[in-house]
Structure 1
Amino acid sequence: MAVAQGGRLEAEALLLAASLREAAPGFAGRLILAEPQPGPLWPADPRLSEDGRSALQALGAEIRPFDSRHFGAAYPYGNKIEGLAVLPAGEPFLFLDTDTLILGDIGAVPFDFDRPTASMRREGTWPVEQPYWPGYAGVWGSLYARFGLDMEATLDRSQPEEYWERFLYFNAGWFTGPDPAAFGERFLRFALAIREEPGDALACQSLDPWLDQVALPLVVASFGGGRPGPELAGMDGDVTCHYRSFPLLYARESDAAVAMLERLARREPLAGLLRRHEPLRRMAQEGEGARVRALFDRRRLPRREKDIRQRLKAAGYWLR
């Protein structure tokens, strides 16, 4: 499942669907795209364009509508939480952010859906150290205790105490589970509870845009899941690429990811639809991506994504 709506996410969804078809032609699963519908939480119509919808369906995607009852435009990351409701209950699922390319046979990845897990391609973005805060253990401990969970069982004891990687923390760019109905209900309940009553330990912490990534490890732990094992190394590796934005893709991702993007972006009839998205057109169709790529040595990239973004902005390339 991924979330698809008009604008940038439509272009990304087209690339996701086309890359799945190209890289995994024997894929036996289904690609379901959850589409938010107009309503009071969306000032503008979030739906796909008609020709974008037709192209996605021609690529084998199933498009299913859902109503935004809790998040909407104010917190679009909540789409991945509410959108789980469109999936068939009781069937294992893999959620992918729309800004993902499939580079290999994703159907051959040996997921254990009974043990939920998620992407480890993350930085220590949350919680943020503050004067007089209770520390990582205090912040995360308050959340585990609140939902009746055992934090001790989730700790990576190879990491030092009070170091962020000791605590279970994911990038919500992909995650798995055995049942989207149960997983989604708990994800929504935890996220809403944290948003509405963060508690004293979180008093100085921002939850925007981190709410989904705060709730996700709690949900994964509640179903007996945890960090992915080495058998899932292809995720965020040779099988999938969560690129975040097109300039970031050119700055840091593999040659295989760039080749896949450019092959799909220049192939008709997809190219005509993708041309409407200016950053993609400039990067992949008009050659600016090569100039972005030349700004970075991928063997010695800056350690933090923030530093890559700053260099891109300084060069005038910060486009979504």
Structure 2
Amino acid sequence: MVNAPFNVMIIGQAGRLQYEALLFAASLRHCSPGFSGRLFVAVPQQGPLWQKDPGIRNQEVLQALADLGAEILPFESKAFGAAYPYGNKIEALQAMPKDEPFVFFDTDTLITGELAEVPFDFSRPSASLRVEGTWPKPTLYGPGYSGIWQSLYSRFGLDLLSSLDLSQPEEYWKRYLYFNAGFFYGACPRAFGKRFLTYAQSVRNDPPPELTGQTLEPWLDQIVLPLVIHSFGGGRDALPEGYLDGQTSCHYRLFPLLYARESDRVVELLQEIAAPNWLKKVLKGYEPIKRMVYQGRGEKVRALFDRENLPRREQAIRNRIKSEGFWMR
């Protein structure tokens, strides 16, 4: 099965993200020859919400992105900017082509299989289920999960009950719709982005009383995303398991974590796509890629861990890497 064309969007800006964008684009071209949509690298433009110009000014990076068929998509930060950079993914959607299906990926992702064969149903949006119960954290005096989530669903006229996974126990975080915002997709980026922005600003500027004692940083995008997805008729079961965050994509997050816990296939793919000299010349401008990928530090990190028996908590993985002096970000 091959989908009708759809577009892909990632965020790019000065610093780490521009190099991750290059690797994302290289992995997409290498692993997904069937992808026939457009790849947009959305770049926030300088403005009052940024202390420093966030744009990509490195001409070698821009040329390499162009050579990989990526299109730079400038957008204006009107709501978030430097105060909440995760808001880039919300605001950039408004700059995407209207009424064309889209998939957003966090830039620290590699495409590892044929994206065109993922069975997206764009009329039923969804997002990454590679998620832990990071929010909310109910306090001793309440309200609990149900009270907190009910206040948000009620705020936007949504039905909480139809979003619940009733196979999970009451007051357990998995009962409630919750996603990682590492990828999400929908039928129209502008409609999706407009609602995402409306909900996010409402919660940030005027949180329901039930959210007293809950932190919105950095979880705001993940708090609001399930509400947006549910409002468009999507949910947790809209995409079959095993594709994204599986055989077709890998959200590695940071290079030391990639080498510590991802499969041999992902590591081999990273080495392969980073190998061409024209790309290597550009990627070496970013110290973690230079040391981890090209100078062998990644393999030293990899030797510290048994992928079949990783520590349960990510913090333990980070601490081990740091104790050996190999941590980079």
Match of 1:35 among 43, 66, 81: 43
Structure 1 residue runs of 4 or more that deviate by more than 3 Å after TM superposition: none
- The answer to whether residue 251 in structure 2 is matched with residue 203 in structure 1 is no
Q: Does 1:124 align with 2:133?
A: yes
Q: Is the 8 A contact 1:24 1:106 kept in 2?
A: yes
Q: Is there any run of 5+ residues in structure 2 with no aligned partner, and where? A: 1-8
Say if 1:101 and 1:269 are closer, same or farther in 2 by CA, change over 3 A.
same
Cross-structure match for 2:153: 144
Code of the aligned partner of 1:103: T
- The equivalent residue for 1:93 is 102
Please tell me whether the aligned partners of residues 120 and 239 of structure 2 are also in contact (alpha carbons under 8 angstroms): no
Pair 312,201 (structure 1): closer, same or farther in 2 beyond 3 Å: farther
| 2:20 paired with 1:12 | yes
| Pairing of 1:205-220 with structure 2 (within 5 A) | 205-220=214-229
d(CA) in 2 for partners of 1:17, 1:146: 39
Q: Secondary structure at the match of 1:236?
A: helix
**Cα contact 1:118–1:228 (8 A) shared by 2:** no
Residue pair 1:29, 1:107 contacting (<8 A) in 2 also = no
Indicate the residue corresponding to 1:44 in structure 2. Answer: 52
Q: CA deviation at 1:317?
A: 2.8
Amino acid in the other structure paired with 1:305: E
Aligned residue for 1:316?
Answer: 325
Instruction: Verify the 8 A CA contact 2:30 2:273 in the aligned structure 1.
Output: no
Q: Do residues 154 (structure 1) and 173 (structure 2) align?
A: no
Q: TM-score, normalised by structure 2?
A: 0.95
Query: Bigger CA drift: 208-217 or 38-47?
Result: 38-47
Q: Does 1:193 align with 2:202?
A: yes
Residue 229 (structure 1) shift: 4.6
Choose from 284, 293, 299 the match for 2:308: 299
Name the aligned partner's letter for residue 34 of structure 1.
A
Determine what percentage of the aligned residue pairs are the same residue.
58
Q: Which residue of 2 aligns with 1:250?
A: 259
Shift of 1:230: 5.9
Long gaps (5+) in structure 1: none
Structure 2 residue identity aligned to 1:218: L
Give the CA RMSD over aligned residues. Answer: 1.2
Matched, 1:173 2:182: yes
For 2:3, the equivalent position in structure 1 comes to: none
Tell whether 2:235 aligns with 1:223.
no
| Matched residues, number | 320
Is 1:110–2:113 an aligned residue pair?
A: no
